[in-house]
Amino acid sequence: MIDLRSDTVTKPTEAMRRAMANAVVGDDVFGEDPTVTALEQKTAALLDKEAAVYMPSGSMTNQVAVRTHTEPGDEIILEANAHVYYFEAGAPAALSGVMCRLIQGKRGIYTADDLRSVLHPTNVHFPVTKLVCIENTHNLGGGSIWPIGQMAEVVRVAREAGLKIHLDGARLWNASVATGVPEREYAGLVDSVSVCFSKGLGAPVGSVLAGTEAFIQRARRFRKQFGGGMRQAGIIAAAALYALENNRGRLADDHANARLFAEGIADLPGIEIDPATVQTNMVFFRVTSMPAQELSDKMKQAGILALPRGDRIRAVFHLEITREDTQAAVKAMRVTLQKF
């Protein structure tokens, strides 16, 4: 099977497994796991933040960030299809007791004027707005990248309103490789940033939340409260550290394969896609000849796994997908669609 469902499906390489097997460990809840500490310090330095904390997932780093920045009854502002809002099981309401004010962006990206238009006046009738969230790259936007200038303008409006900014940078690595803008330049605009190791970088588990020393100290309390304290976590942190040190640069290969796939299927009957919209490792294409689920089932029969969503299908390229795999997937798509 050519598995394009997600960049989370990768398995540790032999070199990564050796790093895990040889990891020096301790009790991280006591702050005694040297491998976890090394990962946190290296990630914080790369993002130019004072401190960082390791957690099991990107959903947890995002939700701990929301809780750390807010109090129950506050309001946060997000794009309407943001992962924090859409794919994290109602956690802003359940775990932080906050309201979500949504902005309808374009491919997941909104403007400074969009943000300005949803800000409340100071009034006892309204919740207190505390936090603005940005997702870069944006998942449901098709792996779309925030232009750093546009991001800076949004941040400027947020600052003028006295708001904090959190960056969901689960795939920030992809944005950086695609644009040449260092991760620290994106992270430098915001108060907190989460990054993931189990997506494009190929680690089996884990994300980091970074910010100021005071912010991370408060975040550690909520990590514990949400059940995210881990003991000898260096075994998995070693995989993340290996991924961080070895797998960032190769993300360009995933981007090239995604574009190759998009270009290869663009002229197929019943498919709508503009390859120019493929900026990173994700390809979203619209299915017009049959329900997307039906085509997804036929793709599976042809040896390709991909995720249907509404009338679209998402294909994600990662370190286990070669150029030859990509070409084979295009060929299988052509054969499949020529039957109908």
pLDDT of 45 reads 98
pTM: 0.97
- Rounded to whole angstroms, the Cα distance separating 32 from 172 reads 29
Give CA angle at 38 (169, 206), nearest 5°.
Answer: 40
pLDDT of amino acid 339: 74
Sign of CA dihedral 73, 78, 82, 84: negative
CA distances in angstroms from 2 to 202, 218, 227, 315, listed in the order given = 16, 43, 35, 10
Average pLDDT of span 286-291: 95
CATH fold for domain 14-246:
Aspartate Aminotransferase; domain 2 (3.40.640)
Q: Which fold has domain 250-338?
A: Aspartate Aminotransferase, domain 1 (3.90.1150)
Domain residue extents for the chain: 14-246, 250-338
Q: What is the pLDDT of residues 102-145, one digit of tens each?
A: 999 999 999 999 999 999 998 999 999 999 999 999 999 999 99
DSSP string, 47-76: HT-SEEEEES-HHHHHHHHHHHH--TT-EE
pLDDT at 340 over 90: no
The pLDDT assigned to 338 comes to 82
The pLDDT value recorded for residue 75 is 98
